[in-house]
Structure 1
Amino acid sequence: MRITVEDITVTLGGRDVLSDVGLIAAEGEIAGLVGPNGSGKSTLLRTVYRHLRPHAGRVLLADRDVRSMAPAQAARHIAALPQERGSDFEFTVREVVAMGRTPFKRAFGGDDERDHATVAEALERVGLQAYAEHRFAELSGGERQRVLLARAFAQQPDVLVLDEPTNHLDVQHQVELLALLREQRRTTLISLHDLNAAASLCDRLHVLHDGALVASGTPLEVLTPDLLAMVFGVRAAVVEHPLTGDPLIAFDHRKTMPAPPAEESPVTV
């Protein structure tokens, strides 16, 4: 399913955290949100999965406003992995992943064979089938991350909304996670700090800066030296990755650059 963000404005504490932001994640597309801390990425994702109500604008799932849907109905279509992740669940890994099946159950309904199979498949996808009976609270941060991703997979959504899913993962598991997301070809809206990971994974990037959308396009169109200097305040060269052909950003770690005025912002649509 397609996700459309139409002219979203979110006001928190009397301040516009997002201002008139619009973008589309097409069906089967991996759309990335990038930008500095405080640019509004998490706020936008929370609005998409209904944790926040926008002051203006709307989010459409296909052609339907997600705010018009009952929570359980929306959860059958949209699964979220937010940054705020519980660490004190007194449940086993299997029980946490099984929570992803909740939107499909009647009140007090138990797990059936399909639920068990779906949970087992989700755990296998993230490489944690051997941890099924471990206590969630006893896992490392990276392991918890993978469990919560498995919970999202168990939800079998049309749309995945992921906020910094590679946090706490070592390099091997970061690579495996990004490969897994790429293989699924499920409509995905994802925020990433790692710009090279975003360039490798995403079909389209949307750049947020100070709550505004300043650029949209393919990674090659968006990740230019001028934009990196303007938005992130860094000197960088963009070259071709020798293994994948994706854009590869080589940062100058010795010098930062002052950001030019906002009106000089390059915008690609």
Structure 2
Amino acid sequence: MRIAVEDLSVALSGRTVVAGVHLVAKEGEIAGLVGPNGSGKSSLLRTVYRHLRPSAGRVLLAGRELDELSPAQSARHIAALPQERGGDFELTVREVVAMGRTPYKRAFAADDAEDHRIVAEALVRVGMTDAAARRFAQLSGGERQRVLLARALAQQPDVLVLDEPTNHLDVRHQVELLALLREQRRTTLVALHDLNAAASVCDRLHVLHRGTLVASGAPREVLTAELLAEVFGVRAAVVEHPLTGDPLIAFDHRTPADVPPRPARQTIS
């Protein structure tokens, strides 16, 4: 299902944090949002899963304005994994994942066999089946992240909205999560700090800087040394990943982009 952001602006406490953004995630496409801290990525995503109302512009789901849908209808189509995780649930892992079935149920209705099947499948997909009976509050940050992703998958949404989904995950589980996103082929909007991960998993990248959209395109087109210097303030070379062929960014961790490199040392023989 296609999702489109049209001329979107967002204001927080009277300050514009997103200004006039246009972008589209086509059906089955993984669209990445990248940009420095404070560039407006999370605020934009919050309008898509209706945690914030835009000050201008609109969000369209399959050509229909989100505001026309009830919260329950929206939740059947769009599932979110936000950065703010809420409090420590006094629930088991299985119960937290089962919350993803809420949009399909009447108030106080018990889970049926189909709900149990969907929840079990979601736990398998994130590798948390063995933890199903544990308390959510007892989990590590990375384990919680995987459980909340399972809850989003249990909604069986057409669109996934993920804000920094690899936070708290070790390298193996980061790789597994990104592989899962590719396998799902659901329409996905995902904000990522890790530019190499974004280059690997995303079909298209949208670069935000100071609340405006400054570049859109395939990762290979967007992630240039010039853009990395201008937007992120880093010196970097973009090369081909030796294993996957994806763009691979090699950062200069010694010298910021706005500092001239030191001349090479000369040795006297």
TM-score by length of 1: 0.95
Q: What is aligned with 1:9?
A: 9
Q: What is aligned with 2:38?
A: 38
Shift of residue 14, structure 1, vs aligned partner:
1.2
Shift of residue 86, structure 1, vs aligned partner:
2.6
RMSD: 0.8
Cα distance in 2, alignment partners of residues 88 and 40 from structure 1: 27
* CA deviation profile, 1:97-154 (whole Å, cap 9, x unmatched): 0000000001111100000000000000000001000000000000000000000000
Q: Say yes or no: does 1:23 pair with 2:23.
A: yes
Q: Say yes or no: does 1:83 pair with 2:83.
A: yes
Which structure 2 residues correspond to residues 154-233 of structure 1 after superposition, within 5 A? 154-233=154-233
Q: What is aligned with 1:148?
A: 148
3-state SS, counterpart of residue 19 of structure 2:
strand
Q: Is the 1:97–1:150 Cα contact (8 Å) retained in structure 2?
A: yes
3-state SS, counterpart of residue 216 of structure 1:
strand
* CA deviation profile, 1:27-59 (whole Å, cap 9, x unmatched): 000000000000000000000111000010000
Cα distance in 2, alignment partners of residues 142 and 48 from structure 1: 25
Q: What is aligned with 2:138?
A: 138
Q: Say yes or no: does 1:104 pair with 2:100.
A: no
- The residue type paired with residue 151 of structure 2 is R
- The residue type paired with residue 111 of structure 1 is D
Cα distance in 1, alignment partners of residues 224 and 67 from structure 2: 36
Shift of residue 208, structure 1, vs aligned partner:
0.2
Q: Is the 1:236–1:250 Cα contact (8 Å) retained in structure 2?
A: yes
- The residue type paired with residue 105 of structure 1 is K
Q: What is aligned with 2:252?
A: 252
Determine what percentage of the aligned residue pairs are the same residue: 78
Bigger CA radius of gyration? 2
Q: What is aligned with 1:264?
A: none
Shift of residue 87, structure 1, vs aligned partner:
4.3
Cα distance in 2, alignment partners of residues 160 and 230 from structure 1: 30
* CA deviation profile, 1:45-76 (whole Å, cap 9, x unmatched): 00011100001000000111111110000000
Shift of residue 258, structure 1, vs aligned partner:
3.0
Shift of residue 88, structure 1, vs aligned partner:
1.0
Q: Say yes or no: does 1:48 pair with 2:48.
A: yes
* CA deviation profile, 1:186-221 (whole Å, cap 9, x unmatched): 000000000000000000000000000000000000
Cα distance in 2, alignment partners of residues 116 and 139 from structure 1: 22
Q: Number of matched residues?
A: 259
- The residue type paired with residue 209 of structure 2 is H
Segments of structure 2 that go 5 or more residues without pairing to the other structure are 260-269
Return 129-138 or 80-89, whichever deviates more: 80-89
Structure 1 stretches (4+) deviating beyond 3 angstroms?
A: none
Cα distance in 1, alignment partners of residues 178 and 20 from structure 2: 30
Cα distance in 2, alignment partners of residues 57 and 86 from structure 1: 28
Q: Is the 1:5–1:59 Cα contact (8 Å) retained in structure 2?
A: yes
Q: What is aligned with 2:116?
A: 116
Q: What is aligned with 1:267?
A: none
- The residue type paired with residue 8 of structure 2 is I
